[in-house]
Structure 1
Amino acid sequence: MKGLKKKRRIQVVAIAAVALVLATGLIGYGLRDGINFFRSPSQVMAEPPSASETFRIGGLVEEGSLLRDQGEVIRFNVTDGGATVPVVFKGILPDLFAENQGMIGTGKYINGVFEASEILAKHDEDYMPKEVVDALKEQGVYQDPKS
């Protein structure tokens, strides 16, 4: 009897371990497209990502770089003070999108141009996305708007 109970416990533990590994694998598989890494323009220029990788880029919209083509295509440069990346976006920009303001874009870096599928802008005069602030501080060009 004791040998049978011990064997049953080992089977239950083994099945639980397999179920845990399977559940972890399924969660990872389900989230693979939903995870977007953040990069600053300096990081993109230092180590360009592959054309198939979707990621987020953030920084300040470079002054004088905002160009509106015919239709809904918008071109501008995003900078962190250390590097500048050209961006192209087809769609409608947020109302608060402007030059010299913080932004984050989601998309792919293809042939030296970041092709954005989504653009997010600040929501008031003091707000800047945390990732953008961190990147600007790392470059030494961040200025606190409250001072």
Structure 2
Amino acid sequence: MTPVQRRRMIWVLLLLLASGLATTLVAFALQRNIAYLYTPSEVLRGDVDAQSRFRLGGMVVKGSFDRPSGSLQAHFVVTDGDAALPVSTDRILPDMFREGTAVVASGRLQDGTFVADEVLAKHDENYVPKEVADKMGDAHRKHDVPVTAPEAR
């Protein structure tokens, strides 16, 4: 192997090593920021690591919303039709947040209560996010909760 070929081979190996390292670092960074969606049944069954950040999806139970006057602290219960999980948040809730509608909340489980740092709500009375509808499966039919998901694009 000539010196030119050897130098080229070293550059190619260094380039491959650098791209492999960059790919690994990006994969680790993305993995830390992923928040998986779980239903209350899955959370109560223990499918979720108690320390991890995740998204909770389901329907807000009618009559469960409570907010002390003059406070941002809100408490409500989310159900998937089979199980229910209490949720608390000290963030501003979206204007479309209502009892009996679908929500997706991001946060952590703490002492049996899901502490949400972000709550997202549906955009009309018949919409449930597709991933929530898929996770809830037939549970919505058991409790006469209207669920429609958008068509796949």
Band the TM-score falls in, shorter-chain normalisation: 0.7 to 0.9
Structure-2-length-normalised TM-score: 0.82
**Partner in structure 2 of residue 21 of structure 1:** 20
Aligned position for 2:113: 113
Aligned amino acid, residue 119 of structure 1: V
Larger CA deviation: 82-91 vs 32-41: 32-41
Deviation for aligned residue 1:5: 4.3
For residues 10 and 98 of structure 1, do their structure 2 counterparts lie closer, same or farther at Cα, with a shift above 3 Å needed?
Answer: same
Partners of 1:140 and 1:88 lie apart in 2 by 23
Identity of aligned residues (%): 37
Alignment RMSD, CA only?
2.3
Letter in structure 1 aligned against 2:35: N
Q: Residue 42 of structure 1 contacts residue 82 of structure 1 at CA under 8 Å; is this kept in 2?
A: yes
- Structure 1: which 5+ runs fail to align? none
How far apart, in 2, do the equivalents of 1:89 and 1:82 lie?
23
Task: For residue 134 of structure 1, report the CA deviation from its aligned partner.
Answer: 0.7
| Conservation of the 8 A alpha-carbon contact between 1:108 and 1:116 | yes
Residues 48, 109 of structure 1: 8 Å contact kept: no
- Supply the distance in 2 between the matched residues of 1:32 and 1:145 (Cα, whole angstroms): 30
Deviations 1:14-65 (A, max 9, x none): 1122111221133234434432111111111111534431111100001121
Q: Name the structure 1 match of 2:6.
A: 7
Kindly report structure 1 stretches of 4+ aligned residues shifted beyond 2 Å: 2-10, 28-34, 48-52, 138-146
Specify the alignment match of 2:59 in structure 1.
60
- The residue that corresponds to 2:123 in the other structure is 123
Letter in structure 2 aligned against 1:64: G
Q: Quick check: 2:76–2:87 contact (8 Å CA) kept in 1? A: yes
C-alpha distance in 2, partners of 1:52/1:60? Answer: 24
Question: 3-state SS of the aligned residue for 1:49?
Answer: coil
- Against the structure 1 CA distance between its residues 144 and 39, is the aligned structure 2 distance closer, same or farther, given a 3 Å change threshold? closer
Q: TM-score, normalised by structure 1?
A: 0.85
Question: Match for 1:77: what amino acid?
Answer: V
Letter aligned with residue 53 of structure 1: S
